[in-house]
């Protein structure tokens, strides 16, 4: 009986210690463990004594009974086996106790580290963890010179604008989607331009807007010709600016065959005008065109009226008050919620060049006077696609958008446009290895932007990024004639005007001063 009790306690002790090794230990648990260990040791000692006493009595009985000598030999062997079994189990218990003490020490030290680190955490824990990961990765690099350290310090000191881009982007996308659905319902039987899904463009969606609450969320809405119409792009005169301007020529298309098959509409070319006027709405030529060319101002005015009439059935009307701001070439909206926060949205219109990422759009031009039938060539969709492409290629801690954002803030109030800056940075992104745009390279890249701009001013030449550039990523779909075209000089106006060039150099020196002030004071 004592043997059975002994082995029962052994099994209990092994299970108890194995369970405690796998769990985290606190003070109360360790105290209970020690008490349990003392109890088990006392019980095993008592049982060993009883077992020893029992074996002695049995040995005496076997000696008195000589006829059962073989039993004595068998018991001696059994006693030897029990001794070694008990010794092995005791060694196992000793090893488990040592492991328990080691585990307890590790838990204590890890809990101390957690408590000390929790006391030093900042309120913005996620941002700090990201910065720590970046600093650890930077420290693992061999490049640890002073300029890299200075770049990291300066990047931290700059006051970056805080934008709730994710939430506002969803609001803008919802608005664009709702307007598209309403247009499909209300304008199906009309002959106005057919609205296509909006495309997010501009600095805000690209991630480098220098603004904060007054950031403008820009959408480009592609236009397709309605039934019985066709669009043809005609390259216009460039004039004094290097920008390429187009006209959208609207032509009527015969629909007699379609009329016979579906009886949907009357052919604008082959039906009498009186019948068309009586039984069918006016063609696009009679509504939004001037001299058979699509008119920018008429198109913008028509779309603004459409948004006003459609707003009542848009779900966002329950959360925002909408105001259409004055514009002759786009639709600018100001949305205000119940708390008074405003959201600015600008929707421009575009006609796609073939199947490419290049459009002609209704955006403003730099010329003082532009006919309302002029549609400047727009690269906004291709630029947004370029930055999305770069986002997939650069390291996860790339600082290229921060460099662009910081310089865009410096340019405010100067004679340099953000498009000039954007072109410079795109050229550098396409030239400098992408691993060189990390946080520790911030100062080097900012100085590189400054030097590149100075060289372009001195040479009076800044090549357009897409026209004539053979190094454009293949993911961007350009018209066939783009790579074979002559490079477009964005600084062409400096070539023949010394006064304008001298003013640009003065602006550059002023820009350098503002750059140094931002690096020193952070704003």
**Predicted confidence (pLDDT) per residue in 236-293, tens digit:** 765 445 568 999 999 999 888 765 555 667 888 887 777 777 778 888 999 999 999 9
Which pLDDT score, from 0 to 100, does residue 519 have? Answer: 72
pLDDT at 333 over 70: yes
Q: Which two tokens stand for residue 450?
A: 């400054």
Averaged pLDDT, 53-61? 55
Nearest-angstrom CA–CA distance, 201 and 221: 10
What's the rounded Cα separation, in Å, for the pair 470 and 463?
12
Q: How far is CA 270 from CA 79, 227, 250, 255, 257, in A?
A: 118, 15, 17, 9, 11
Lowest mean pLDDT segment, chosen from 71-80, 410-419, 446-455, 463-472:
71-80
Cα 170 to Cα 168: distance, rounded to the nearest angstrom: 5
Best CA proximity match to 448, nearest among 424, 478, 479, 469: 424
Per-residue pLDDT, 356 = 95
Confidence of residue 67 (pLDDT cuts 50, 70, 90): very low
Q: Which of 156, 165, 151 is nearest to 131 (CA)?
A: 156
Residue 205 pLDDT exceeds 60: yes
Q: How far apart are CA 422 and CA 81, in angstroms?
A: 86
pLDDT on residue 240: 47
Residues in a beta bridge with 350: 222, 361
Q: Give per-residue pLDDT as tens, 80-127.
A: 545 455 555 556 655 655 555 554 444 344 333 333 333 333 334 344
Helix, strand, or coil (residue 289): strand
Question: Would you say the C-alpha torsion 473, 475, 476, 482 has a positive or negative sign?
Answer: positive
pLDDT band at residue 517 under the 50/70/90 scheme = confident
* Helix pair angle (400-411, 498-521), 10° resolution: 120
SS3 444: helix
Q: Is 91 exposed, middle or buried (0-12, 13-18, 19+ CB in 10 A)?
A: exposed
Residues 183/186/191/197 CA torsion (nearest 10 deg): 10
Estimate to the nearest angstrom the gap between the alpha carbon of 443 and the chain centroid: 23
Per-residue buried b or exposed e for 16-55, using 16+ beta carbons within 10 Å of the residue's own CB: bbeebeeeebeeeebeebeeebeebeebbeebbeebeeee
Provide the pLDDT for residue 33. Answer: 57
The SS3 assignment for 55 reads helix
Name which of 108-122, 217-231, 395-409, 422-436 the model is least confident about: 108-122
At 119, list the tokens: 């006391």
Position 145 confidence tier, pLDDT thresholds 50, 70, 90: low
Q: Where are the beta strands (DSSP E) in 266-358?
A: 289-290, 293-294, 321-325, 331-336, 342-352
Q: Please name the residues in contact with 324: beta carbons below 8 A apart, sequence gap of 6 or more.
A: 304, 307, 308, 331, 332, 333
**Are the beta carbons of 466 and 501 closer than 8 angstroms?**
no
Is the pLDDT reported for residue 3 higher than 70? no
pLDDT band for 375, please (50, 70, 90 cuts).
very high
Higher local confidence (pLDDT), 432 or 279: 432
Say if CB 221 and CB 346 are below 8 A apart: no
Number of Cβ within a 10 Å radius of residue 508: 18
Whether the predicted pLDDT of 389 surpasses 80: yes
**Structural contact between residues 307 and 331, judged by C-beta atoms closer than 8 angstroms:** yes
pLDDT at residue 486 in the model: 85
Rounded Cα–Cα distance for residues 277 and 289 (Å): 18
Average pLDDT over the chain reads 76
Query: What would the mean pLDDT of 313-329 be, rounded to a whole number?
Result: 93
Q: Is-contact 416 424, C-beta < 8 A?
A: no
Tokens of 25: 């230990």
Of the candidates 394, 24, 51, 345, the residue with the CA atom closest to the CA atom of residue 204: 345
- Average pLDDT of the segment spanning 212-232: 89
> Which range, of 11-20, 278-287, 307-316, 462-471, averages the lowest pLDDT?
11-20
Stated pTM of the model? 0.70
Higher pLDDT: 336 or 278? It is 336
Least confident of 8-22, 264-278, 417-431, 455-469: 8-22
Rounded Cα distance, 430 and 420, in Å? 16
Q: What's the pLDDT score for residue 268?
A: 84
Q: How confident is the model at residue 69 (pLDDT cuts 50, 70, 90)?
A: very low
Whether 319 has a pLDDT exceeding 50, the answer reads yes
Mean pLDDT for 409-422 is: 88
State the residue for tokens 């664009």: 176
Q: How far is CA 437 from CA 128, 383, 399, 400, 503, in A?
A: 20, 19, 6, 6, 31
Average pLDDT rounded to a whole number, residues 469-488: 88
C-alpha span between 401 and 206 (Å, rounded) = 8
Beta bridge partners of 241: none
pLDDT of residue 142: 43
Distance separating alpha carbons of residues 38 and 219, to the nearest angstrom: 77
Separation of alpha carbons 203 and 411, rounded Å: 14
Q: Coil, strand, or helix at residue 318?
A: helix
* Residue 516 reports pLDDT greater than 90: no
């Amino acid at each position: 009986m004592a043997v059975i009790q002994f082995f029962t306690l052994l099994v209990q002790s092994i299970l108890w210690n194995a369970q405690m090794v796998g769990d985290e230990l606190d003070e109360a648990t360790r105290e209970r463990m020690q008490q349990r260990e003392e109890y088990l040791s006392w019980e095993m000692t008592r049982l060993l004594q009883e077992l020893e006493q029992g074996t002695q009595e049995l040995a005496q009985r076997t000696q008195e009974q000589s006829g059962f000598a073989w039993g004595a030999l068998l018991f001696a062997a059994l006693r030897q086996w029990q001794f070694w079994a008990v010794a092995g189990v005791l060694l196992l218990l000793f090893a488990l106790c040592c492991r328990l003490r080691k585990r307890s020490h590790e838990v204590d030290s890890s809990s101390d580290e957690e408590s000390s680190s929790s006391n030093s955490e900042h309120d913005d824990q996620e941002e700090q963890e990201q910065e720590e990961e970046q600093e650890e990765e930077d420290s693992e690099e061999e490049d640890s010179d002073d300029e890299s350290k200075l770049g990291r310090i300066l990047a931290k000191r700059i006051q970056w604008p805080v934008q709730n881009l994710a939430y506002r982007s969803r609001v803008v996308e919802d608005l664009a989607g709702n307007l598209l659905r309403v247009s499909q319902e209300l304008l199906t039987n009309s002959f106005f331009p057919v609205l296509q899904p909006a495309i997010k463009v501009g600095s805000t969606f690209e991630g480098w807007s220098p603004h904060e609450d007054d950031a403008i969320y820009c959408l480009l809405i592609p236009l397709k010709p309605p039934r019985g119409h066709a669009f043809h792009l005609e390259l216009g005169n460039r004039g004094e600016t290097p920008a390429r301007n187009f006209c959208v020529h609207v032509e009527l298309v015969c629909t007699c065959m379609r009329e016979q098959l579906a009886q949907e509409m009357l052919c604008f070319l082959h039906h009498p005008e009186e019948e068309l006027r009586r039984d069918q709405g006016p063609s696009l030529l009679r509504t939004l065109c001037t001299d058979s060319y699509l008119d920018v101002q008429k198109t913008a005015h028509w779309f603004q009226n459409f948004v006003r009439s459609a707003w009542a059935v848009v779900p966002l009307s329950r959360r925002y008050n909408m105001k259409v701001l004055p514009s002759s070439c786009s639709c600018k909206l100001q949305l205000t919620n119940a708390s008074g926060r405003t959201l600015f949205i600008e929707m421009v219109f575009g006609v796609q060049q073939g199947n490419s990422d290049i459009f002609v759009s209704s955006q403003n031009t730099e010329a003082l006077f532009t006919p309302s039938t002029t549609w400047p060539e727009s690269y906004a969709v291709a630029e947004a696609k370029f930055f999305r492409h770069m986002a997939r290629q650069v390291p996860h801690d790339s600082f290229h958008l921060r460099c662009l954002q910081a310089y865009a803030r410096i340019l405010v109030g100067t004679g340099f446009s953000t498009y000039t800056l954007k072109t410079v940075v795109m050229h550098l992104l396409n030239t400098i290895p992408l691993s060189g745009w990390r946080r520790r390279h911030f100062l080097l890249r900012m100085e590189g932007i400054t030097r590149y701009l100075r060289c372009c001013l001195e040479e009076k030449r800044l090549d357009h990024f897409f026209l004539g550039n053979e190094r454009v990523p293949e993911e961007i779909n350009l018209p066939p004639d783009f790579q074979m075209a002559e490079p477009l000089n964005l600084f062409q106006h400096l070539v023949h005007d010394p006064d304008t060039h001298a003013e640009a150099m003065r602006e550059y020196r002023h820009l350098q001063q503002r750059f140094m002030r931002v690096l020193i004071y952070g704003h």
